[in-house]
Structure 1
Amino acid sequence: MKAPYRLPLTPLPLAAAARGAVALAVPLLAGVVTGQVALAVLAGIGALWGVGQDGDDPYRQRVLRLGCTGGCAALGLLAGELALRSGRPGAVTCCLVAAALVAGAVSLRGRLASVAGLHLLLGVTVGGGIPVPGPWWQAPLALLCGVALVALLSATPWLWRRHAIERAAVRAVYRAASGALAAAGGPDAEPARRRLTAALDHAHRVLDRHLTGRERPGKGPDTLRTAFHTAVRLGEVTSALVWEGRELPRCVSRVPLLMAARLLPEPGRGAAAATAAGPAGSAHPEGVPCAGSDSPALRALTALYTSCGPDRPRDATARLPAYPWHGRAAQVRYAVLLAGCVLAAQLCAVLLHGPRGYWLPMTVAFVYKPDFGPVFRRALHRCAGTVAGVAAIGAVTLLTTGTYALIGAVAAFAAVMAVGVRHHYALATTGLTAIVFVLVDLLGDHRELSWARILDTALAAAIVLVAHFALWPDSARGRAAARTRAAVSAAHRYRDLPAGAPAAERYALRRTAYHRLAEARRAVLDARREPGRAAREVPGLLDSEEAIAAAERLCDAVGAHHVGSAPDAYAPGAVRCTAAGAMGG
């Protein structure tokens, strides 16, 4: 979800759009040429779900996520297919409810578990709703091939740009630090500091396996570790300069960029970048007024610049903390609610459409994901995207009904979906809806389903919203309160660090505190975006926002104290924030 402050516009993911187009077009073309259209459509469904889980994160993480997507989807498809082939009344419904219980039980345990649970349930909906001829093993294998094609296309650039993603993430931290220094003393100073925190969080997640010592040493990882640990120190100094509240000379904002050029030079420009940045150990960057400056933070920035280099010893870095805000009771409640929504959707589908009404339970599986953002917004975007997708594919079929032309349209909509996955859920739903219409048509189902799909989507969204806000209205607010408590506690641990503690421990506590504060702000924003009781209880959310703001000021002041910008008599407890305030108590 978008943060409450302005974020820079990201470029269109052209590579991801191209991967999506190829991944959907290739199996369909192969199926038309060989006559195995049904298996090609299942491979296309696998590719469709793979495109939905493709990303711009490190290649290892992509392959792991896509592997979970394919494995769980194939397992669900097999279960749904066997239930459908059994011919027993209610077998598919029982299978769907069981899959929903499993999916709900695991989905709140982390991002990867959530993806696995979602696609297990999606696999059951397709396997139980689309009869596939041939041996039982062909359909799951075809679906796995589709996901594998996406994984292959997504991971192939690793061969020639192994650490490019990690390097870009670390460089983004230095650019964010430069922006924060340029904004110091102005109205955009605090949002700029939050953007720096977000950049550090992203780089920390991207470099996780390199930082925690689970990878063998090498020149590339060593350089990245050094650059990241220097960026963590730079974050503390930058926050101290922002805390001072004075405008800085323009040349100061160039220092992080010079450091990045020294630590992570662009390929083919290493020598030139190092020359431009100046040799390590020089008195200070050209133009930085450090000599005789009354700003300890500015002197610390100069010292950091002169000491940074590729041979700096590495620190030990822990993983970013997880958020177990949802205990066992929340997991059980979500599992039961998801299963109830799927059961209601399946019963409506059987009454309205007979045995092939998979759209209703599939929509419930997509919409009811509270860990992916506000449920109401997700349902609204799902409905809007479905209407747009129906209109778009309707316009295409008015122009042509040729098989190869429709496959070309699938490729185009797959590119749209890949862009939407990174930018807006409604756009992703638009592409997915149009693609599913073509896939269903290729299977030989030529019924007019436009209005039925729109009404089914609206009905599924209504089922989810009624169940969620009637039986679990405080989920978003509870998540915000829990994350606020965790953030305030992390800020207090950072404040209470003894004066003689190692620098590495200080940096770890500081990173944890700012990371949790950023997550708490996002959780509060998500709670504000939900209608109903969670949105009406504004005082509780206001207390959370005030507690987060106070904790941020506390961390800024503690960092300034360590850098030397705060007076020696500074008492960390002077800025107070309490966990009770986070709960509105």
Structure 2
Amino acid sequence: MAPTAETRRSRRPGTALTTWLRRALSTARAGFPLAAALRGVVALALPLLLGLWTGHMVPAVFAGIGALWGVGQDGSSPYRLRMQRLLAVGLAGALGLLIGELALRSGHTAAVAGCLVSTAVVGGLISLRGPVLSVTGMHLLLGTTVGSGIAVSGSWWQPPVALLSGVLLVTFLSTSPWLWRRHRIESDSVRAVYRTAAQALTAVGTPHAEAARRSMTLALNDAHDVLAPDLAAATRHRPEDSDTGRLLDALRLAVRLGEVVSALVWEGRPLPPGVADLPMQMAERLLPAGRSTATGPDLLPAEKAVPERDLRSPAVRALVELCGTADAEAGADVVLSVPARPRPGRTVRLRYAVLLSACVLVAHISAVLLHGPRGYWLPMTVAFIYKPDFGPVLRRAVHRCVGTVVGVAATGAVALVTGNTPYALIGTVAVFGALMAVGVRHHYAVATTGLTGIVFVLVDLLGDHRTLYGTRILDTTLAAAIVLAANFLLWPDSAGSWAAAQTEAALIAVRRYRDLAPSATSARRQTLRRAAYRRLADARRAAAQARAEPLPRKRTLPDWEATITAAEQVCDAVTAEVLANTAGSAGDHAGRARRPRQQRDARHRQSGP
């Protein structure tokens, strides 16, 4: 199927520039991650200061490299997942550094090339198997490139231990807020579902309704992922932590709310203003903004927010009844489960591993020919760029080149002003560390700018005072060219094939929901619906990534977006039909859920304080 006119317009240079500027402005409005920036400053400056004061600068620099990689993975995910990712980075990086260092100390050029290719194969094979394994594979290769490219004296075990200590410092700084804000991230993710549901209800009957419903779907997917460890524990035993139980109850109710909102979006009739306030009322009841043990405000009678004539809609009645029973019992029939996302098959992983290792080998040979031994920048840049699971390869390569140029210019300007005194260099590292922490959350080019400046300073502190500004730009450009040539000449259909596979998986999930939902139990219906919408969101993301990659001449991509949109509309229609058929039983369930609570309140009033 040929691309739509809108898709063709989006490929025009002027439209692309406008889109980029719009995204940049929205990023600027997203807020400055002050805590992450401060962590970047402390994590990168502290090891270097300690090395300067104690006279052990070499271990301090390797601790700074570990802190650099830790800051690069210091995201905003829950503390448990954040710790898993950072520990994987530290262990993989230290192991790779040890492998590369031992190969370099052997004195054989073939040993260095062999360990680079071997770790690239291993890293490529595991990188496409999940987010934690992805960063594990990349940092195993990064550690090997640094270890085989930077010669240091002293004991062989000191650099890996120092690097691991730098990552552990970032881990401590990143996860220590768990002590006083343990469930803040999980609570915010669940609250976001109710907020996007309210926005979707506001947009019902307008051209923006489907986009608002997609935002609610993404919020539900994110809340499922954030609470995945708690969901796995809850399947084995009831959570002892009351906060965890409250969050899971709120998420169960949010799943039912998502069903109702999808039905209302399909009906398309504008809703009274008070209806859009109901989701946030439910959130305040289940997730009070104060202490987790506090009791939320009493809900206003939902019927007063909806005129009698609007109650003829089954979806509106279901929303009113759901709001009137906004407690743990209302979502008791929802089985929370995170469907496993489809992952690339063995053939795809093997092909990626072979191409990655070939790129690393070509980069290593190019570095030896251009700069002699210990040319680590070229293979290191290849490891950073060739990560198709992190986003479009072309965009990543371009952002890498732009960030390197800006970083080189900034580093040169700072060197002219400060004169390369030790404390000035450490201050420069601190500033670039904050910049990198911001870029990790907002823009890859900004993160690359910070990383480039930090690496320049760390190498200078190791005693390499060569002027490498032009060399680094040349190496980055060459590494980007190697990756792009391998990806688009040898595997041009990689992103398109993945988008086609994701779309097919989504259509299968939609058919299952369409065929099984009318006769399924409530719990089974919710599971089928969530799986279908999640698959559709994944397919839309894969299609957008495929669109961002260049295409050979005389080739067009199928219009996956139109197919996905039609499938979403099918899901909305099935949801509305099933909800209409079960409206009577839903009312009976609401009455049964309301009576026990009223009886408990009556007994409490009779017993007194």
Q: Aligned partner of 1:388: which letter?
A: V
Aligned partner of 2:191 in structure 1 is: 171
Aligned partner of 2:171 in structure 1 is: 151
Query: Percent identity, aligned pairs only?
Result: 58
TM-score, normalization by structure 2: 0.88
Corresponding position: 1:541 with 2:558: yes
Contact kept, 8 Å, 2:334 with 2:522, in 1: the verdict is no
Aligned partner of 1:576 in structure 2 is: none
Q: Aligned partner of 1:501: which letter?
A: A
Corresponding position: 1:434 with 2:453: yes
Aligned partner of 2:275 in structure 1 is: 252
Corresponding position: 1:136 with 2:153: no
Aligned partner of 2:405 in structure 1 is: 387
Q: Aligned partner of 2:565: which letter?
A: A
1:18–1:316 Cα change, 3 Å: same
Structure 2: runs of 5+ lacking an equivalent: 1-18, 585-609
Query: Alpha-carbon deviation of 1:273?
Result: 4.3
Query: Alpha-carbon deviation of 1:549?
Result: 1.2
Q: Aligned partner of 1:19: which letter?
A: R
Aligned partner of 1:531 in structure 2 is: 550
**3-state DSSP class of the match of 1:304?**
helix
1:184-583 to structure 2, matched below 5 A, reads 184-212=204-232, 213=234, 216-268=239-291, 273-275=296-298, 277-278=299-300, 282=301, 284=302, 286-290=304-308, 293-310=311-328, 312=330, 313=332, 315-324=334-343, 326-400=344-418, 401-533=420-552, 537-538=555-556, 540-542=557-559, 544-564=560-580
RMSD: 2.1
Q: Aligned partner of 1:249: which letter?
A: P
Structure 1: runs of 5+ lacking an equivalent: 569-585
Q: Distance in 2 between matches of 1:482 and 1:272?
A: 47
Aligned partner of 1:94 in structure 2 is: 114
Q: Aligned partner of 1:522: which letter?
A: R
Q: Distance in 2 between matches of 1:264 and 1:498?
A: 30
1:226-265 deviation digits (Å, cap 9, x = unpaired): 1001001101101111111111121111000000000000
Q: Distance in 2 between matches of 1:547 and 1:536?
A: 22
Contact kept, 8 Å, 2:252 with 2:335, in 1: the verdict is no
1:162-192 deviation digits (Å, cap 9, x = unpaired): 1110000000000000000001111111110
1:498–1:430 Cα change, 3 Å: closer
Query: Alpha-carbon deviation of 1:211?
Result: 2.0
Looking at secondary structure, tell me which structure has more helix per residue: 2
Aligned partner of 2:12 in structure 1 is: none
**3-state DSSP class of the match of 1:145?**
helix
1:362–1:249 Cα change, 3 Å: same
Q: Distance in 2 between matches of 1:259 and 1:232?
A: 13
Q: Distance in 1 between matches of 2:394 and 2:134?
A: 19
Among 109, 115, 119, the residue aligned to 2:135: 115
Q: Extract structure 1 runs of 4+ deviating beyond 4 A.
A: 5-9, 268-273, 565-568
**3-state DSSP class of the match of 2:153?**
coil
**3-state DSSP class of the match of 2:305?**
coil
1:448–1:271 Cα change, 3 Å: closer
Q: Aligned partner of 1:557: which letter?
A: A
Q: Distance in 1 between matches of 2:442 and 2:280?
A: 28
Query: Alpha-carbon deviation of 1:272?
Result: 7.9
Q: Distance in 2 between matches of 1:337 and 1:15?
A: 38
Q: Aligned partner of 2:48: which letter?
A: L
Contact kept, 8 Å, 1:204 with 1:320, in 2: the verdict is no
TM-score, normalization by structure 1: 0.92
Contact kept, 8 Å, 1:524 with 1:541, in 2: the verdict is no
1:178-220 deviation digits (Å, cap 9, x = unpaired): 0000011111111101100110010010011222325743201
Contact kept, 8 Å, 2:255 with 2:334, in 1: the verdict is no
Q: Which moved more, 1:457-466 or 1:389-398?
A: 389-398
Q: Distance in 1 between matches of 2:295 and 2:81?
A: 33
Aligned partner of 1:583 in structure 2 is: none
Q: Aligned partner of 1:556: which letter?
A: D
Q: Aligned partner of 1:549: which letter?
A: T
Q: Distance in 1 between matches of 2:30 and 2:262?
A: 25
Q: Aligned partner of 2:192: which letter?
A: A
Query: Alpha-carbon deviation of 1:395?
Result: 1.2
Contact kept, 8 Å, 1:317 with 1:508, in 2: the verdict is yes
Query: Alpha-carbon deviation of 1:500?
Result: 3.6
1:67-82 to structure 2, matched below 5 A, reads 67-82=87-102
